C-alpha cells in the first residue's frame, strides 16, 4: 500500500532552486504521496480539541511517515510539527528525540567518549580563551579545528600556531558558524567511512585523498568499498549505544594499529558510499523505513 510521506528538510532550497535529494526522488518514483517542505513552509492550526498541520493550504496531518533532514536553527518549529504528527500516528525517521538533532555531534560524542580523540568544544565569541585550555585537555600543537555544525569537509584545518588560529576565523566561509571543535592531531594511517543502517553495517569505504579535506567525497575524494570484520563490528557495537536509524562512522586507524572515531554522522551523506559499493542507498534506506513502519503498526 502506498504511503503518505512528509519529507521535511531545511535544505530544500539552494538559492532560488529546489534541491531534490536522491532519497526524495526515489520515494516519489515509487508512487508514494510525498509532501516536500522546508519547516518554515509548514503552518500549524490549534483548535479546541485538535491540532492540524498544513502545507500550501493542504491539511497533511494524516501522513504515515516523516523523514526529517534538519539541523540547528529550526529546533522549536520542527519539534512542534513532529509532536503533532506523531500524536496522530506518524512514524518518524531522522529526528531521534533522546539526542536532540541540533546537537548530534556532541550528543553522540558524549556517549562514546573513550573512542574519540581528545576534544574541546568552544564558541567563536570567546575563542581567545580556548588556547589556554589546551594543556588541561592534553592537546598539543598542531591540532585540528572545524565547525561543530559543519559537513562535507567544510572548515577543517590544521592549526600549527597562534597566527594560524587567528587567521582561521577570518575565513568568510565560516561566518555563519558560531560553535567550533578542536581535536588532537593524530598519526593517521588510514581513514574509513562505515555506514550502519538499523544497527547493521553495509560495509566500509576507505577514504583516499591528499590532505585533510581531500578525503571527503564531497571535496573530490575517492571511496574504495570493502568488507572488514573489525571495523564493521566496532561500528555495529557502538551503534547499539545510539538511537539513530542511519549512522555514518568516520573511523581512523593510527600507525600503532589503534582505531579511533572522528565523527558519528546521524544523517551521513550516502552518495559516495553508494557509488563505491554499487548499493542503491535510497532504495535500501527507504525499504528499511517501510519495514520499521510495518513493525510499529
- Report the CATH number at residue 229: 3.30.470.20
The verdict on residue 259 lying in a domain is yes
Each residue's pLDDT tens digit, 127-142: 888 999 999 999 999 9
Please report whether residue 108 resides in a domain: no
**Domains: count for the chain:** 3
Tens-place pLDDT, residues 64-104: 999 998 766 677 888 899 999 999 999 999 876 655 554 55
pTM of the predicted model over 0.85: yes
Give the range of the structural domain holding residue 173, as residue numbers without chain letter: 118-184
Q: Cβ(213)–Cβ(153) under 8 Å?
A: yes
Mean pLDDT of 256-274: 90
Do residues 194 and 173 both lie within one domain? no
Query: Residue range 145-159: average pLDDT?
Result: 82
Could you tell me if 290 and 194 lie in one domain? yes
Confidence of residue 49 (pLDDT cuts 50, 70, 90): confident
- Model confidence at 297: pLDDT above 80: no
HEC string of the chain equals: CCCEEEEEECCCEECCEECCCHHHHHHHHCCCEEEEECHHHEEEEECCCCEEEEECCEECCCCCEEEEECCCCCHHHHHHHHHHHHHCCCEEECCCCCCCHHHHHHHHHHHCHHHCCCEEEEEHHHHHHHHHHHHHHCCCCCEEEEECCCCCCCCCEEECCHHHHHHHCCCHHHCCCCEEEEEECCCEEEEEEEEEECCEEEEEEEEECCCCCCCCHHHCCEEEEECCHHHHHHHHHHHCCCCCCEEEEEEEEECCCCEEEEEEECCCCCHHHHHHHCCCHHHHHHHHHHHHHHHHC
pLDDT of residue 214: 43
Report if residue 106 sits inside a domain.
Answer: no
Asked whether residue 66 is domain-assigned, the answer is yes
235 and 197, same domain (yes or no): yes
**Do 204 and 290 belong together in one domain?**
yes
**pLDDT 10s digits, 275-293:** 999 999 999 999 999 999 9
For residue 36, pLDDT over 70 is answered with yes
Amino acid at each position: 500500500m502506498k504511503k503518505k510521506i512528509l519529507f521535511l528538510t531545511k535544505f530544500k532550497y539552494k538559492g532560488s532552486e529546489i534541491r531534490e535529494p536522491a532519497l526524495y526522488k526515489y520515494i516519489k518514483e515509487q508512487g508514494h504521496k510525498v509532501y516536500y517542505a522546508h519547516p518554515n513552509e509548514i503552518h500549524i492550526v490549534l483548535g479546541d480539541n485538535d491540532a492540524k498541520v498544513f502545507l500550501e493550504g493542504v491539511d497533511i496531518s494524516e501522513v504515515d511517515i516523516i523523514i526529517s533532514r534538519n539541523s540547528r536553527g529550526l529546533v522549536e518549529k520542527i519539534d512542534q510539527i513532529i509532536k503533532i504528527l506523531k500524536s496522530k500516528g506518524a512514524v518518524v525517521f531522522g529526528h531521534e528525540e533522546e539526542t536532540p538533532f541540533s546537537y548530534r555531534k556532541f550528543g553522540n560524542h558524549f556517549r562514546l567518549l573513550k573512542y574519540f580523540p581528545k576534544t574541546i568544544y568552544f564558541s567563536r565569541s570567546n575563542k581567545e580563551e580556548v588556547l589556554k585550555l589546551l594543556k588541561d585537555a592534553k592537546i598539543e600543537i598542531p591540532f585540528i579545528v572545524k565547525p561543530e555544525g559543519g559537513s562535507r569537509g567544510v572548515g577543517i584545518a590544521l592549526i600549527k600556531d597562534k597566527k594560524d588560529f587567528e587567521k582561521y576565523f577570518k575565513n568568510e566561509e565560516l561566518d555563519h558558524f558560531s560553535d567550533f571543535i578542536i581535536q588532537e592531531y593524530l598519526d593517521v594511517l588510514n581513514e574509513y567511512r562505515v555506514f550502519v543502517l538499523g544497527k547493521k553495517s553495509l560495509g566500509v569505504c576507505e577514504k583516499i585523498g591528499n590532505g585533510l579535506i581531500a578525503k571527503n567525497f564531497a571535496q573530490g575524494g575517492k571511496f574504495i568499498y570493502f568488507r572488514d570484520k573489525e571495523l564493521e563490528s566496532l561500528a555495529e557495537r557502538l551503534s547499539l549505544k545510539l538511537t539513530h536509524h542511519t549512522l555514518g562512522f568516520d573511523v581512523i586507524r593510527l600507525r600503532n594499529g589503534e582505531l579511533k572515531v572522528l565523527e558519528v554522522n546521524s544523517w551521513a551523506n550516502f552518495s559516495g558510499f553508494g557509488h563505491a559499493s554499487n548499493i542503491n542507498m535510497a532504495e535500501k534506506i527507504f525499504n528499511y523505513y517501510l519495514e520499521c513502519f510495518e513493525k510499529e503498526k
